[in-house]
A and B are shown apart, each in its own frame.
Chain A
Amino acid sequence: MPLLILLLPSLILLIAVFALPLFRYGWLSFHADSVMTGLVAIPNQGANWQRFIHDARYWQDLIQTLRFAFVSVTAEIVLGLIIALILNQPLRMRALIRSSSLIPWALPTTVMALGWRWIFNTPYGPIDRLMQSGLGQSLNALGEPSIAWITTVYADIWKTTPFVALILLAGLQTIPSDLYEAAKLEGASSWICLRRITIPLLLPYLGLALMFRLAQAFGVFDLVQVMTGGGPASSTESIALYAYWNALRFLDFGYSATIMIGSFLFLSSLILIAWLVITVARNRAAGVYAK
């Protein structure tokens, strides 16, 4: 019993900050609570949900968020694996190299988000200058809706790849080196080693990085808010940003809560599916090894 008492303060705080808001959102989503009602919650018989289902802007934002999450997480995993493989070699100044590659991850997102705005600035930023002198054409990386989202993906990859690389590096260091030596004796090439030893044994770590990053990328907010403000033409707007606009710009708390609880339900099912897929893949990989 005294053991549980030690656990209690931490648990109460977790419930207050994680569970309470969800219940509050669930309740608010069935109420009108906006400037129109004088910021008083009035039941509105599911009108928020009706609006939610028919809200084209939300669904567009959801597609944008998913597109952002999938592209950036895939790229981060591939790049993170490459970086982990580089850092896993015996290097001079290894600690220094590792800390330098960690710096992008440690800086506040907003600090570099504005830095990116300058680097991708049209026409004065370095990228645009290169494009102008190389191709004779401006890229307009943040002003063109079909390109701007890729620019935000790039900034996200830059920031979070170190995190993925670290997880994968820890995974690489658990693989016993005699596996590689045995494979080399059998005449296996480096490529075969990578495909048949490294990747299967790294699967749990890949799955872990994938799950964490997908969940984080789904809630992308800081980067987009500062770098593009959701523009141009709301092409980079994420669902978190849309919920934020609804709450603090349009002062419609009821609808904002609906967006958040709706997105939460969606994300939970997404993570559940990802987890199932990973478990199946892991079991299958284990099966291959058993043979």
Chain B
Amino acid sequence: MARDHGGAKSGCRSLRKMKAARFMIIALLIWSLGPLAWQLYTSFCTDQALVTPFASLDQRWTLVHYQSVLNSNPPFIRYLFNSLFAGVVSTVLTLLLAIPASYSLSKLGKRSALFFKCLLIGCALFPYVLLFLALLEIARYLQLGNSLIALAIPYAALSQPLAVLLLTNAFSDLPPELEDAARVEGLSVLQRFRWVLLPLISPAIASTAILVFLFSWNEYPIALTWISDSDQLTLPVAMARIAGSSIHSVPYGPYAAATVIGSIPLIILVMVFQKPIVSGLTTGAIKG
């Protein structure tokens, strides 16, 4: 990932070019982080400061928005934990289903593997929002509403295409001699999985897990329709509820504070796991 093929193309990069590149990068950072910075700024402003920014005020900065968000009922932290819980359960379920499936896909004949791959890509391209009504009916029928654990079922299904494609790719890259050797040594299927195969594809598993987690953490339409109990809401739905509470006067101050608190875990996640995220997204999209 870190090789610079394109960069090597211009052997004679002049000072002017360097300056242009630096300018573009600053523009890029302002463009992608500016809106977040504005939310951060808003979250510390008093209501009065937000409405009259240029007037001289006795009190411009405040922590009151954070207090109101953290002391609300249920407290905002609750939603973070709900999302974390749904994310972890979905990730585990996805991997439990996808690892055996992709192992078998990597061993299948070329023709049938291609067939399944096309099927998976078709699912990946499907705008899953359109599924919410039928999924809601299923949830009502099986009484799965208002349960964070049950959310893992649709999430695992929606993550299958990406997970299976990524992991199949990783399994196919392993030399078949490895597993044969382990079999000759008398290791059973489970032992081969545990001691030979899984350790070798662990980078792909990490990429898959983090992408599935991100998806489940952020998912909105299904969580919106399955969960109505305010104790069980996931973060995206809780955020949208603030918006829905009133069309005309959204409490922007507390909301901005909520945005900041809600964004911090994800920003940390992206900073720490940048590499597996990037490699997962790119191999998932390209090899798939």
Contacts and interface: CB of A to CB of B under 8 A. Distances in A.
A233 interface: no
B134 to A, nearest CB: 3
Given A4-B104, A91-B25, A99-B271, A158 B35 contact: yes
A112 B133 contact: no
Nearest to A166: B281
B68 interface: no
Given A3-B107, A86-B28, A267-B127, A114 B239 contact: yes
A221 interface: yes
Given A21-B135, A99-B270, A190-B10, A167 B282 contact: yes
B164 to A, nearest CB: 6
B9 A205 contact: no
A124 to B, nearest CB: 6
A58 B7 CA distance: 48
Contacts of A225: 240
Contacts of B214: 106
Given A7-B116, A108-B235, A226-B240, A167 B7 contact: no
Interface in A162-186: 162-163, 166-167, 169-177, 180-181, 184
A6 B100 contact: yes
Given A17-B135, A118-B250, A9 B97 contact: yes
A106 B269 contact: yes
A126 interface: yes
Interface stretch (B143-151, B174-182, B216-224): B216-224
Interface string B110-139: 000000100110011111111111111110
B258 to A, nearest CB: 8
A98 B279 CA distance: 13
A218 B218 CA distance: 19
A24 interface: yes
Given A98-B274, A103-B267, A260-B130, A9 B153 contact: no
Nearest to B29: A100
Contacts of B89: none
B282 A13 contact: no
Interface stretch (A144-152, A239-247, A282-290): A239-247
B105 A7 contact: yes
Interface in A241-270: 243-244, 247-248, 253, 256-257, 260, 263-264, 267
Interface stretch (A49-57, A70-78, A209-217): A209-217
Given A21-B133, A166-B278, A86 B35 contact: no
A115 B35 contact: yes
Contacts of A45: none
Interface stretch (B58-66, B69-77, B155-163, B201-209): B155-163
Interface string B247-288: 100101001100100110011011100110110011001100
Contacts of A99: 270-271, 274
B51 A85 contact: no
Given A163-B281, A229-B247, A215 B240 contact: no
Contact of A10 (B97, B126, B262, B274): B97
A85 B164 contact: no
Contacts of A47: none
Contact of B153 (A13, A91, A96): A13
Contacts of B282: 166-167, 169-170
B6 interface: yes
Interface of B is mostly: helix
Interface size class, chain A: 35 or more
Interface residues of B, number: 97
Contact of B164 (A10, A16, A24): A10
A90 interface: yes
Interface in B4-45: 4-11, 21, 24-25, 28-29, 31-33, 35-36, 38-39, 42
B239 A118 contact: no
A101 B29 contact: yes
A111 B250 contact: no
A218 B127 contact: yes
Max count, chain B CB within 10 A of own CB: residue among A101, A172, A205: A101
Contacts of B33: 100, 103
Nearest to A115: B39
Nearest to A184: B9
B86 interface: no
Given A166-B282, A170-B282, A180 B9 contact: yes
A169 to B, nearest CB: 8
Given A17-B154, A124-B51, A215-B127, A89 B243 contact: no
13 contacts: A10-B160, A17-B131, A89-B4, A89-B7, A91-B21, A102-B274, A107-B263, A108-B239, A110-B240, A124-B51, A184-B11, A226-B243, A263-B130
Interface of A: 3-7, 9-11, 13-14, 16-18, 20-22, 24-25, 82-83, 85-86, 88-91, 94-104, 106-119, 121, 124, 126, 129, 158, 162-163, 166-167, 169-177, 180-181, 184, 190, 193, 205, 208-209, 211-212, 215-216, 218-219, 221-222, 225-226, 229, 240, 243-244, 247-248, 253, 256-257, 260, 263-264, 267, 271
Given A101-B28, A166-B282, A177-B6, 12 more contacts: A101-B29, A110-B243, A115-B259, A118-B39, A124-B51, A177-B9, A212-B125, A222-B221, A253-B137, A260-B130, A260-B133, A267-B127
